[in-house]
């Protein structure tokens, strides 16, 4: 029985993880949950899974839930995420909270030498080098990626040596605007960007998919997770999203992980690794329904997020932090209709020009740089 804490249980990934547990109750047990604003759903989850620990995003809900569930130990706010990750009685920490706020909790989980089921891209993008040093220090800790692309690569690498790998190939659906020209993207609306053709995800990651910044983040994350140079990490459009990513070896054989577009599969693999388990909530891939698989190059001149990410990752140091923070601000502005779609790229580019590369040695430096970029973002467009 694996004991699991889910950070972000009311979000898309969190809800899927609870479906996995619901389908395999003899293998997995929920001991901790965290939610932010969706308190009604969090209440339902508490009533169903009976966790020992719960973190709530804000004080009023914390006070309310403490009264309703007096036997549960509650924590509050961002510090509460760290406190939840610092308890002893669990085996796996699923980090499904978006943004840089998940970094501290992930670090606490590593320091407790737990398995981290990583669903937070920003952790490895902004703090990858720091996290990798921690993993060397706390050798029993491990990270198993939940992101479908990195889970696919992780699976395709099993049983082979790193020196035999020629390249990693990250697939991309193309998002809501696949095939659009730059002129066509000038005046696209928020509601258009949120219409992903294949996946059901949160708003922020759906916009990242539309800009293809998500592929840029995934390139940086793959570099940090698997230790391959940026020249050995490629991306390709695969509109059907059946192949979740591939690994090409020196003999040009390619290992591809395939499956339906459902996050429950990589979530369960992160929970059960190295075993594979049956689960009634997992859907089989029916090849009679998927009669076509196509691949095509990505137009990086139109979708500039990939090139910007490669630049940030190759510079290293503080630049991936700048890239990530600027993108988060820009996406938030776009969702609030403060900027146009293509201005997301402009804001990232402006941030990378504004903040020169700095060496990063500590968590405090990471968080300080992240904060610095976000403060700059509040005034972007007014003085630039």
Q: pLDDT, tens digit, for every residue of 331-371?
A: 999 999 999 999 999 999 999 999 999 999 999 999 999 99
Residue 11 labeled ligand binder: yes
pLDDT over threshold 70, residue 383: no
Is residue 43, in this structure, part of any structural domain at all?
yes
Q: Cα 267 to chain center, whole Å?
A: 12
Spatial distance between the Cα atoms of 17 and 52, rounded to a whole number of angstroms: 17
Residue 12 labeled ligand binder: yes
Question: Average of pLDDT values for 71-84?
Answer: 96
Residue tagged 């990589």 (tokens)? 266
Do 188 and 297 belong to one domain? yes
Domain boundary pick from 274, 300, 315 = 315
Provide the pairing of β-strand 243-249 with 254-258: antiparallel
Do 292 and 164 belong to one domain? yes
Residue 215 labeled ligand binder: yes
Spatial distance between the Cα atoms of 383 and 43, rounded to a whole number of angstroms: 45
Which residues, 6 or more positions from 24, have their beta carbon under 8 angstroms from its beta carbon?
A: 268, 277, 279
Residue 173 labeled ligand binder: yes
Give the total number of structural domains in the chain.
Answer: 2
CATH code of the domain containing 131: 3.40.50.720
Residue 202 labeled ligand binder: yes
Is residue 302, in this structure, part of any structural domain at all?
yes
pLDDT of residue 203: 87
> Radius of gyration over alpha carbons of the chain, in Å?
20
**What would the pLDDT profile of 249-298 be if each residue is shown by its tens digit?**
999 999 999 999 999 999 999 999 999 999 999 999 998 887 789 999 99
Do 290 and 163 belong to one domain? yes
What percent of the chain clears pLDDT 90, i.e. is strictly above it? Answer: 88
Spatial distance between the Cα atoms of 238 and 224, rounded to a whole number of angstroms: 24
Do 141 and 157 belong to one domain? no
pLDDT of residue 162: 96
Question: Average of pLDDT values for 207-224?
Answer: 96
Provide the pairing of β-strand 243-249 with 2-7: unpaired
Residue 198 labeled ligand binder: no
Is residue 268, in this structure, part of any structural domain at all?
no
Is residue 356, in this structure, part of any structural domain at all?
no
pLDDT of residue 380: 81
Please tell me whether residue 45 adopts helix, strand or coil conformation.
Answer: helix
pLDDT band at 198 (very low <50, low <70, confident <90, very high): low
Q: Cα 294 to chain center, whole Å?
A: 25
**Dihedral sign of CA atoms 56, 60, 63, 66 in order:** negative
> What pairs with residue 53 in β-bridges?
32, 73
Spatial distance between the Cα atoms of 365 and 27, rounded to a whole number of angstroms: 40
Residue 89 labeled ligand binder: no
pLDDT over threshold 60, residue 382: no
Question: Average of pLDDT values for 123-139?
Answer: 96
Domain boundary pick from 116, 145, 174 = 145
Do 248 and 298 belong to one domain? yes
pLDDT of residue 384: 46
Residue 48 labeled ligand binder: no
261 phi-psi bin (left φ>0, alpha ψ -120 to 50, beta other) = beta
Do 291 and 180 belong to one domain? yes
Q: Where in the sequence is the domain holding 219, given as residue range(s)? A: 150-263+282-315
Q: Please state the pTM of the whole predicted model.
A: 0.93
Question: Average of pLDDT values for 195-201?
Answer: 69
Spatial distance between the Cα atoms of 180 and 176, rounded to a whole number of angstroms: 9
Do 49 and 120 belong to one domain? yes
Is residue 247, in this structure, part of any structural domain at all?
yes
Do 68 and 156 belong to one domain? no
Is residue 34, in this structure, part of any structural domain at all?
yes
Do 170 and 304 belong to one domain? yes
pLDDT of residue 100: 64
pLDDT over threshold 90, residue 109: yes
Is residue 378, in this structure, part of any structural domain at all?
no
Do 160 and 139 belong to one domain? no
Do 111 and 173 belong to one domain? no
pLDDT band at 145 (very low <50, low <70, confident <90, very high): very high
pLDDT over threshold 70, residue 20: yes
Residue 221 labeled ligand binder: no
Residue 252 labeled ligand binder: no
Question: Average of pLDDT values for 126-152?
Answer: 97
CB 199 within 8 A of CB 261: yes
Residue 120 labeled ligand binder: yes
Residues, the chain? 384
Of 25, 79, 81, the closest CA to residue 54 belongs to 81
Is residue 274, in this structure, part of any structural domain at all?
no
Residue 13 labeled ligand binder: yes
Domain boundary pick from 82, 110, 145 = 145
Do 250 and 178 belong to one domain? yes
Residue 37 labeled ligand binder: yes
């Amino acid at each position: 029985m694996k004991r699991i804490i889910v950070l972000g249980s009311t979000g898309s990934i969190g809800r899927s993880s609870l479906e996995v547990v619901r389908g395999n109750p003899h293998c997995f047990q929920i001991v901790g949950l965290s939610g932010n604003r969706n308190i009604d759903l969090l209440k339902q989850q508490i009533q169903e899974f009976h966790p020992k620990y719960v973190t709530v995003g804000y004080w009023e809900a914390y006070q309310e839930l403490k009264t309703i569930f007096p036997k549960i130990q509650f924590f509050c706010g961002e510090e509460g995420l760290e406190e939840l990750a610092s308890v002893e009685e669990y085996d796996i920490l699923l980090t499904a909270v978006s943004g840089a706020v998940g970094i501290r909790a992930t670090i606490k989980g590593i320091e407790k030498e737990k398995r981290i089921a990583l669903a937070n891209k920003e952790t490895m993008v902004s703090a990858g080098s720091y996290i990798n040093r921690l993993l060397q220090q706390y050798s029993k800790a491990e990270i198993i990626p939940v992101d479908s692309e990195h889970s696919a690569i992780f699976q395709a690498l099993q049983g082979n040596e790193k020196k035999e790998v020629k390249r990693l190939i990250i697939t991309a659906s193309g998002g809501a605007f696949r095939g659009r020209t730059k002129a066509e993207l000038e005046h696209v609306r928020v509601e258009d960007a949120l219409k992903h053709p294949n996946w059901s995800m949160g708003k922020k990651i759906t916009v990242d998919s539309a800009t293809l910044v998500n592929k840029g983040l995934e390139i940086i994350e793959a570099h940090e997770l698997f230790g391959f140079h940026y020249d050995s990490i490629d991306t390709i459009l695969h509109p059907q999203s059946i192949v979740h990513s591939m690994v090409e070896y020196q003999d040009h054989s390619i290992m591809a992980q395939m499956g339906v577009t459902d996050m429950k599969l990589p979530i369960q693999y992160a929970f059960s690794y190295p075993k594979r388990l049956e689960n009634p909530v997992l859907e089989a891939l029916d090849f009679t329904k998927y009669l076509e698989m196509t691949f095509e190059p990505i137009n990086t001149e139109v979708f500039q997020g990939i090139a910007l990410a490669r630049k940030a990752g190759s510079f290293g140091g503080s630049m991936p932090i700048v890239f990530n923070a600027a993108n988060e601000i820009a996406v938030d502005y776009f969702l609030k209709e403060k900027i146009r779609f293509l201005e997301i790229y402009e804001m990232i580019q402006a941030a990378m020009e504004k903040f020169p590369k700095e060496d990063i040695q500590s968590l405090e430096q990471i968080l300080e740089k992240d904060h610095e970029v976000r403060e700059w973002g509040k005034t972007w467009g007014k003085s630039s």
